Amino acid sequence: MTVGVLGGGQLGRMIALAGYTLGQRFVFLDPGAESSAGHVGNLRVGAYDDEERLSELARKSDVVTYEFENVPVGSARFLNELVPVYPPPAALEVSQDRLEEKQFFERLGIPTPAFAPVSSREELDAAVTRIGLPAVIKTRRFGYDGKGQMVLRTEADVARAWEALGAASLIVEGLVPFERELSILAVRGKDGETRFWPLVENEHRDGVLRVSVPKSDAWSPELQRRAEGHAARVMATLGYVGVLAIELFMTGAELVANEMAPRVHNSGHWTIEGAETSQFENHVRAILGLPLGSTRTVGWSAMLNVIGKLPPKARVLAVEGAHLHAYGKDASPGRKLGHVTVRAESRDELHARIRELAPIVDPDAPALPKAIWPAG
Is residue 7 scored above 90 in pLDDT? yes
Residues 5 and 100: their CA atoms lie apart, in Å, by: 25
Interval 194-233: pLDDT, tens:
999 999 999 998 889 999 999 867 788 999 999 999 999 9
Domains of the chain (ranges, CATH numbers): 2-85 (3.40.50.20), 114-174 (3.30.1490.20), 180-372 (3.30.470.20)
pTM (global) more than 0.85: yes
- pLDDT tens digits for range 117-153: 999 999 999 999 999 999 999 999 876 655 688 999 9
Mean pLDDT score, 286-291:
98
pLDDT in tens, 25-68: 999 999 999 999 999 999 999 999 999 999 999 999 999 999 98
